Structure 1
């Protein structure tokens, strides 16, 4: 069995279990750490679905984890748990660092990745957890997920004005609708949807109360924006395709009512000064803030699409966004 070299992994033949040690830093923002981080995230799924063996994920030496990396891990772990006959085949050890362990527990990350299957995932919605996964299933519908998200924010002391809540909700709702319309090749993934749920997505709220910042991220494990729109823009790079996708009116469908929602996704950031939007998909990276738009190519290929709002909620600027 060939194990990766970019992080520690060991196979226990007697127990038929692979133990993988997380890097000390898990981050997909920093180009010096993003490749190793994403290899670690992807390997979780590889062990389960390709090797067909038990896995022990150890965060014992973890010293730092960022919001997007934590969401990708939450997505991979719960995807495996939902598809396993025995979710207990995936074991997890929390960090030795008391500070990091406290962050992972208080943020709701541990509730999201701890052992369990579909009932655990649905309980995350019912308990307004910081990490939630939804689908088109009635018990996981986006209306229930958005309500749980807003309750979680209030419980953590984030009190938006009613206009701001509406703008943020429209942005989240449009991101979820895009997943349903565009993210997955539903014909080829029909069997997987029986286990995962139709059009599944994962999201998290990461609060930095000291800086009055809310990091809200939503992720799908679909084909990705560059793949979806490649036929329309065959000469463009992944980041350039994402930039085009974020323009109002761009859609791969022929439906004139679609392709207008990117404005809702971007509008959430202009509600709060010193805020920004990041979109990652395939090899592409897109950022929109008060300085304009920045694009670049990633040093790894992200399966699916990740949308991240970083909102400074200490000051609101409603009039500019209505």
Structure 2
């Protein structure tokens, strides 16, 4: 079997304001999939990355974990090896990949390893339909550990739970074969709370068909379709009575925060909702990347109001 070494970019980001590094980051992740499908042995060299963001590292975790899951179903398996930054030669990169626990997530090769990430309260975790209730409980326990009001705890939990429920119910409606290999309704998440700034961050990613692939377009343009799909009261089933993550997230925003940002990456589109000083706004833009990420990535960042 042939082999290849793939090098992560020095700056690992999806930021639209840094188009060169964004393009390199997406190309790197997509190249992992391309060479995996070709049956090539892959060495993933992360040693030169000095700056990486949660968005990109979560998608990297998902990509590598997905390859490990699918590898187990192949008669002739790919050999997957990862080279990490060292503390001496790249202290910033070492802190990003080792000190954060990302290393443990990237090396998780079995469902037992994945469950252990949750047990050990790793920032990076993954769940599927079979473990949905356990993950909901784990997320609730994570929120309960923080010194915020009961109302804030409940609404954060509601928004997070509905976000992963949306993945479970809708993300893989046209990808049953993939589900059979990685686990039905598989998602990957990353979350933390920065107490000094009262800032809560939650990211969830799936490798499904994308929002446009699971939501009825009704003769709308792609940007109009995504904006409607993210509008309060709508779901991918066009049923106003069904809840969904964006509705409950916006409920949290309007009642309990100073500032907020909700960003959704899907297909080649980016949806952005912002709340600041009592004013809410949203927009949907077409990303100019040559190759979009697969699936859907949701990034939710909020600064909670002080308790009265």
TM beyond 0.5: yes
RMSD over equivalenced CA pairs, Å: 2.5
Q: Distance in 2 between matches of 1:154 and 1:98?
A: 33
Number of aligned residue pairs: 293
Q: What's the counterpart of residue 105 of structure 1?
A: 98
> Residues 57 and 169 of structure 1: is their aligned pair in 2 closer, same or farther, counting only changes over 3 Å?
same
Identify unmatched segments of 5+ residues in structure 2. none
Which of 93, 116, 128 is the aligned partner of 1:123? Answer: 116
Matched, 1:242 2:226: yes
Whether contact under 8 Å (2:163, 2:244) holds in the other structure is no
Q: Deviations over 1:220-262 (max 9, x none)?
A: 1111112223532x33233x32221121232342655325653
With the length of structure 1 as denominator, give the TM-score of the two structures: 0.82
Q: CA deviation at 1:211?
A: 4.5
> Residues 267 and 16 of structure 1: is their aligned pair in 2 closer, same or farther, counting only changes over 3 Å?
same
Q: Distance in 2 between matches of 1:92 and 1:193?
A: 25
Matched, 1:148 2:132: no
Q: Distance in 1 between matches of 2:27 and 2:285?
A: 20
Which of 206, 217, 220 is the aligned partner of 1:220? Answer: 206
Identify unmatched segments of 5+ residues in structure 1. 1-14
Q: Distance in 1 between matches of 2:140 and 2:286?
A: 33
> Residues 67 and 222 of structure 1: is their aligned pair in 2 closer, same or farther, counting only changes over 3 Å?
same
> Residues 62 and 210 of structure 1: is their aligned pair in 2 closer, same or farther, counting only changes over 3 Å?
farther
Q: CA deviation at 1:184?
A: 1.0
With the length of structure 2 as denominator, give the TM-score of the two structures: 0.85
Q: CA deviation at 1:123?
A: 1.5
Whether contact under 8 Å (1:25, 1:64) holds in the other structure is yes
Matched, 1:174 2:165: no
Which of 37, 45, 51 is the aligned partner of 1:64? Answer: 51
> Residues 307 and 60 of structure 1: is their aligned pair in 2 closer, same or farther, counting only changes over 3 Å?
same
> Residues 262 and 216 of structure 1: is their aligned pair in 2 closer, same or farther, counting only changes over 3 Å?
closer
Q: Distance in 2 between matches of 1:115 and 1:259?
A: 33
Whether contact under 8 Å (1:269, 1:277) holds in the other structure is no
